[in-house]
């Protein structure tokens, strides 16, 4: 540890044996990773969330004063909030579907009627202008009112649950933009989904309920005061995300599993129970609302949207001989899924590059895609040949004057256009057509191929627009189309019906792109309402995930990476085992004393952007100081704001602290409402006074010794859900704390930036070549 050793001593050694800790050069650089990310469509600064309980004397005293009544209030409110979240999310989900079905329905009825009158040009004009207007509306409210509402929102919520606080993602503005934008984007015939936005909407509603009221609008209630912290909000947002999926697919169990498998970074048994309660509320309310709609009070909302649930009701029988084609489907799904992820990320990068030039470019791209989509959807059916109507069709054929499944389009009477039935329809109806029509002859082979290519291309191009856009429905419709295509190719060589192939195709593409297992399996089962499919869906999902994992990561993780969220993985990279925490920690370190001068505190807060400061005390026994704990920036600012300073440096008791402050002063407000040090005006006299930080300092911060391996520090940081991890020296006699680790210090970009040597070392190479395989260690 001598200061004279060469800074990269390690370079002279054999790369294969990195046994000497990299610590030797005592590097103390500033963390170089950027602390900004693309949230929705715009670049914003991001911060970490405080999931650790700050156990200071003041809070401990506050907990002790809480009686049984407060505990009852807290528990009652938690369940009540879950109930309210479930209720609101199901109402929004229902309203969403109702609006889409009616807006898109009117559009299709109007254009179909014009087609019947042979006014083809007029029909195209109306169709494309309506689509363009709806897209424009979605883009403009997103870009102008809340850019954070763009995209599916799942990456943002996933990052939030990992501890990354992106500004504005849960504001009421974003909620409104997301709801309205999602309705108009989906109605505009773009190939975008509504499930992802529903997850974001659910999380947003949950987060708003978790604000603990709003002083600005006079919505305060003392029963809500216990929720002003990130831990409780995290639980509620997890329930909200589960409710979102439950409302989008009417899949309550699937929603819980989705939140568990894909969204949440921390999970407790109690959370499982509470999210299950939330989705149960969603399921029951949705069921009642749909019962109301069955009596025909919901306009064009017929079998639309939510009723995907009962899509597949045929009896299934299959044998071992049917397994090989299913395996092939899984492999194809894996390859296509990873290709889809690869292309989508490429397109997103291009879009992000263009979007930096201004809002006008964001609108231009959306308009181009809308016009291109209209051209494709309206033009393609002309290439398909007309089919005679089947004599035993379950509904009027061709459909006239309402939204239906046998589109006549340009065909003569008594015929229908099978491609128009798919593309000239909402995505939900297209999925239902593909899943339910057991008549194996309804679609032609060329139709299915054309539809698959259209969906694949359009969904990749459409996801990146600056409007709420989900991925679930596009992936399902694309997967169902190639699944049915393969079923048709196999023809009589298989016992399974084409519609079953469509379901399995959707499963394989979902597995290949999103890489979930249990949750996707349950969601598909709940969508199709047929438990007998279970073994086949399990095989398909396992194979497509395995194949796709050999190529790249799951789509949400890739998007999160493109957006630049510092997502903390559970597993440590192999090279982290060879490093110590001292190798990555960045300085300079700012310390506070237990009893500190106000001026110093203000100076520290103004000159740094750290969010936690170690508090040290003079040791009674020796000259060196001892670590007392860690104090948060937010708590320091709350102390300064209250201005109850001490004129002499004496130590305050907890009871004194309790007289001057209330727990509410330290509550973390939501929606990024934080007081800034610049807003606090202090006189010169006050600057010379003192503050006793002891009662407000978290006296039990987690610590690691500087020689701890980085991999084990990451496990501690990740599993316990920390924001700051103090590093204490191995040998006493130096400062009692030598550094603080935060989320950014564990990011591979930061570590590899500090130690470029690692990029070339065997450990990094290994990681790059076998990226997925190592993950499943």
Stretch that binds its own copies, among 91-99, 177-185, 262-270, 588-596 (CB under 8 A): 262-270
Q: Does 268 engage in binding with its own copies (CB under 8 A)? A: yes
Q: Which residues contact 683 (CB under 8 A, 6 or more apart)?
A: none
Q: Does 292 engage in binding with its own copies (CB under 8 A)? A: no
Stretch that binds its own copies, among 32-40, 179-187, 202-210, 528-536 (CB under 8 A): 528-536
Q: How does DSSP assign 17-37, residue by residue?
A: ---S-GGGG---PPP-S--EE
Q: Does 328 engage in binding with its own copies (CB under 8 A)? A: no
Q: Hey, which residues does 630 pair with through a beta bridge?
A: 614, 698
Our CB check for its own copies shows the closer of 442 and 526 to be: 526
Our CB check for its own copies shows the closer of 253 and 476 to be: 253
Stretch that binds its own copies, among 187-195, 457-465, 466-474, 699-707 (CB under 8 A): 699-707
User: Is there a cis peptide before residue 464, judged by omega within 30 degrees of 0?
Assistant: no
Q: Which residues contact 303 (CB under 8 A, 6 or more apart)?
A: 432
CB of 736 to its own copies, least distance (A): 8
Cβ neighbours of 24 (radius 10 Å)? 18
**Using CA atoms, how far apart are residues 22 and 7, in angstroms rounded to an integer?**
10
Q: Which of residues 608-637 bind its own copies (CB under 8 A)?
A: 619-622, 624, 626-627
Q: Does 397 engage in binding with its own copies (CB under 8 A)? A: no
Q: No. of H helices and E strands in the chain?
A: 28, 14
Q: Which residues contact 134 (CB under 8 A, 6 or more apart)?
A: 103, 184, 185, 187, 188
**Using CA atoms, how far apart are residues 366 and 372, in angstroms rounded to an integer?**
10
CB of 758 to its own copies, least distance (A): 13
Interface map 461-500 toward its own copies (x if CB under 8 A): ----------------------------------------
CB of 50 to its own copies, least distance (A): 14
The residue within the footprint of its own copies, chosen from 419, 434, 539, 630 (CB under 8 A), is 539
Q: Does 555 engage in binding with its own copies (CB under 8 A)? A: no
Q: Which of residues 146-185 bind its own copies (CB under 8 A)?
A: none
Q: Which of residues 13-42 bind its own copies (CB under 8 A)?
A: 16-19
The residue within the footprint of its own copies, chosen from 133, 144, 532, 618 (CB under 8 A), is 532
State the number of binding residues for its own copies (CB under 8 A).
99
HEC secondary structure over 51-89? CCCCCCHHHHHHHHHCCHHHHHHHHHHHHHHHHHHHHHH
Cα–Cα nearest to 722, from 33, 268, 50, 31 = 50
Our CB check for its own copies shows the closer of 142 and 279 to be: 279
The residue within the footprint of its own copies, chosen from 98, 253, 477, 568 (CB under 8 A), is 253
Q: Does 545 engage in binding with its own copies (CB under 8 A)? A: yes
**Using CA atoms, how far apart are residues 130 and 108, in angstroms rounded to an integer?**
10
Our CB check for its own copies shows the closer of 559 and 604 to be: 559
User: Is there a cis peptide before residue 588, judged by omega within 30 degrees of 0?
Assistant: yes
**Using CA atoms, how far apart are residues 22 and 299, in angstroms rounded to an integer?**
69
Residue that the structure tokens 């700012």 belong to: 590
Q: Does 322 engage in binding with its own copies (CB under 8 A)? A: no
User: 537 in helix, strand or coil?
Assistant: helix
Q: Does 412 engage in binding with its own copies (CB under 8 A)? A: no
Stretch that binds its own copies, among 422-430, 438-446, 519-527, 670-678 (CB under 8 A): 519-527
Residue that the structure tokens 């659910």 belong to: 202
Our CB check for its own copies shows the closer of 217 and 777 to be: 777
Residue 159 and residue 175 in contact, taking contact as beta carbons nearer than 8 Å: no
Q: Hey, which residues does 616 pair with through a beta bridge?
A: 593, 627
Stretch that binds its own copies, among 192-200, 327-335, 421-429, 696-704 (CB under 8 A): 696-704
Q: Does 435 engage in binding with its own copies (CB under 8 A)? A: no
Stretch that binds its own copies, among 66-74, 148-156, 392-400, 453-461 (CB under 8 A): 66-74
Our CB check for its own copies shows the closer of 250 and 743 to be: 250
Our CB check for its own copies shows the closer of 167 and 574 to be: 574
Q: Does 719 engage in binding with its own copies (CB under 8 A)? A: yes
Give Cα separations from 479 to 23, 174, 195, 502, 505 (angstroms): 51, 31, 16, 7, 5
Q: Which of residues 77-106 bind its own copies (CB under 8 A)?
A: 78
Q: At what angle do helices 195-209 and 154-162 cross, to 10 degrees?
A: 40
Stretch that binds its own copies, among 109-117, 273-281, 298-306, 437-445 (CB under 8 A): 273-281
CB of 305 to its own copies, least distance (A): 18
Q: Does 731 engage in binding with its own copies (CB under 8 A)? A: yes
Residue 150 and residue 467 in contact, taking contact as beta carbons nearer than 8 Å: yes
Q: Hey, which residues does 595 pair with through a beta bridge?
A: 692
Q: Which residues contact 593 (CB under 8 A, 6 or more apart)?
A: 600, 615, 616, 617, 693
The residue within the footprint of its own copies, chosen from 36, 129, 144, 270 (CB under 8 A), is 270
CB of 715 to its own copies, least distance (A): 6
CB of 55 to its own copies, least distance (A): 5
CB of 105 to its own copies, least distance (A): 27
Q: Which residues contact 710 (CB under 8 A, 6 or more apart)?
A: 572, 576, 577, 579, 580, 581, 583, 584, 746, 751
User: Is there a cis peptide before residue 398, judged by omega within 30 degrees of 0?
Assistant: yes
Q: Does 295 engage in binding with its own copies (CB under 8 A)? A: no
CB of 309 to its own copies, least distance (A): 8
Our CB check for its own copies shows the closer of 291 and 684 to be: 291
At residue 552, φ and ψ (nearest 5 deg) are -155, -170
Q: Does 70 engage in binding with its own copies (CB under 8 A)? A: no
Cβ neighbours of 300 (radius 10 Å)? 17
Q: Does 2 engage in binding with its own copies (CB under 8 A)? A: no
Sign of torsion over alpha carbons 482, 366, 153, 192: negative
Residue that the structure tokens 């200061």 belong to: 3
The residue within the footprint of its own copies, chosen from 106, 272, 439, 735 (CB under 8 A), is 272
Our CB check for its own copies shows the closer of 107 and 694 to be: 694
Stretch that binds its own copies, among 26-34, 95-103, 181-189, 574-582 (CB under 8 A): 574-582
Stretch that binds its own copies, among 73-81, 170-178, 388-396, 670-678 (CB under 8 A): 73-81
Q: Does 766 engage in binding with its own copies (CB under 8 A)? A: yes
Angle ∠(115,191,293) on CA atoms, nearest 5: 75
Q: Which of residues 643-662 bind its own copies (CB under 8 A)?
A: 654
Cβ neighbours of 620 (radius 10 Å)? 6
The residue within the footprint of its own copies, chosen from 133, 396, 531, 650 (CB under 8 A), is 531
Tokens of 330: 């899984």
Q: Does 579 engage in binding with its own copies (CB under 8 A)? A: no
């Amino acid at each position: 540890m001598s200061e004279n050793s060469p800074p990269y001593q390690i370079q002279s050694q054999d790369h294969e044996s990195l046994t000497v800790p990299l610590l030797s050069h005592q590097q103390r650089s500033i963390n170089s990773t950027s602390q900004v990310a693309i949230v929705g469509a715009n670049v914003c600064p991001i911060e970490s969330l405080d999931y650790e309980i700050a156990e200071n004397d003041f809070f401990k005293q506050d907990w002790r004063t809480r009686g049984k009544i407060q505990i009852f209030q807290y528990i009652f409110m938690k369940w009540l909030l879950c109930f309210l979240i479930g209720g609101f999310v199901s109402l929004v989900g229902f309203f969403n579907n109702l609006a889409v079905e009616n807006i898109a329905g009117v559009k299709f009825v109007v254009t179909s009627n014009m087609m019947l009158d042979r006014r083809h040009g007029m029909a195209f004009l109306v169709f494309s202008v309506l689509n363009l207007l709806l897209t424009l509306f979605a883009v403009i409210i997103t870009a102008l009112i809340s850019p954070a509402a763009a995209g599916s929102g799942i990456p943002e919520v996933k990052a939030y649950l990992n501890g990354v606080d992106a500004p504005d993602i849960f504001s009421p503005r974003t909620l409104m933009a997301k709801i309205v934008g999602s309705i108009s984007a989906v109605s505009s015939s773009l190939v975008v989904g509504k499930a992802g936005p529903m997850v974001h909407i659910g999380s947003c509603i949950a987060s708003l309920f978790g604000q603990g009221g709003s002083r600005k609008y006079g919505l305060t209630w003392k029963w809500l005061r216990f929720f002003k912290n990130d831990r409780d909000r995290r639980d509620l947002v997890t329930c909200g995300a589960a409710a979102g999926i439950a409302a989008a697919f009417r899949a309550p169990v699937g929603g819980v599993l989705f939140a568990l498998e894909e969204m949440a970074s921390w999970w407790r048994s109690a959370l499982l129970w509470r999210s299950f309660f939330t989705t149960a509320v969603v399921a029951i309310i949705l069921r009642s609302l749909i019962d109301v709609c069955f009596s025909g009070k919901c306009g064009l909302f017929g079998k639309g949207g939510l009723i995907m649930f009962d899509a597949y009701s045929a009896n299934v029988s299959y044998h071992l001989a049917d397994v090989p084609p299913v395996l092939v489907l899984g492999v194809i799904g894996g390859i296509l899924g990873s290709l889809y992820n690869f292309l989508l990320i490429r397109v997103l990068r291009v879009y992000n590059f263009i979007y930096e030039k201004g809002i006008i470019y964001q609108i231009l791209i959306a308009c181009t895609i809308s016009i291109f989509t209209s051209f494709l959807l309206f033009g393609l059916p002309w290439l398909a040949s007309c089919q005679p109507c089947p004599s035993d069709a379950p509904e009027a054929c061709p459909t006239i004057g309402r939204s239906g499944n046998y589109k006549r389009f340009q065909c003569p009477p008594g015929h229908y256009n099978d491609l128009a039935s798919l593309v000239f329809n909402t995505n939900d109806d297209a999925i239902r057509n593909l899943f339910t029509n057991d008549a194996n002859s309804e679609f032609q082979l060329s139709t299915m191929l054309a539809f698959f290519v259209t969906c694949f291309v359009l969904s990749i191009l459409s996801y990146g627009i600056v409007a709420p856009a989900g991925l679930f429905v596009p992936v399902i419709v694309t997967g169902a189309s190639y699944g049915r295509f393969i079923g048709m190719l196999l023809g009589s060589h298989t016992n399974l019906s084409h519609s079953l192939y469509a379901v399995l195709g959707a499963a394989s593409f979902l597995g290949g792109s999103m890489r979930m297992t249990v949750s996707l399996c349950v969601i598909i089962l709940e969508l199709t309402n047929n438990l007998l499919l279970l073994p086949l869906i399990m095989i398909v999902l396992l194979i497509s995930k395995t194949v796709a994992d050999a190529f790249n990561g799951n789509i949400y993780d890739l998007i999160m990476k493109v957006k630049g969220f510092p997502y903390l993985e559970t597993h440590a990279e192999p090279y982290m085992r060879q490093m110590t925490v001292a190798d990555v920690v960045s300085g300079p370190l700012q310390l506070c004393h237990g009893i500190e001068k106000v001026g110093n505190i203000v100076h520290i807060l103004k000159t740094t952007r750290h969010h936690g400061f170690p508090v040290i005390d003079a040791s009674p026994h020796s000259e060196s100081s001892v670590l007392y704990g860690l104090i948060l920036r937010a708590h320091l600012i709350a102390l300064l704001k209250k201005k109850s300073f001490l004129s002499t440096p004496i130590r305050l008791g907890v009871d004194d602290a309790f007289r001057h402050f209330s727990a509410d002063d330290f509550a973390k407000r939501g929606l990024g409402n934080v007081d800034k040090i610049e807003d606090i005006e202090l006189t010169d006299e006050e600057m010379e006074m003192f503050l006793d930080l002891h009662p407000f300092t978290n006296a039990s911060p987690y610590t690691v010794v500087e020689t701890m391996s980085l991999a084990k520090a990451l496990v501690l940081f990740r599993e316990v859900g920390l924001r700051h991890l103090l590093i204490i020296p191995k040998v006493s006699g130096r400062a009692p704390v030598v550094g603080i680790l935060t989320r950014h210090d564990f990011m591979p970009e930061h570590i590899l930036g500090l130690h470029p040597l690692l990029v070339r070392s065997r450990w990094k190479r290994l990681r790059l070549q076998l990226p997925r395989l190592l993950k499943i260690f």
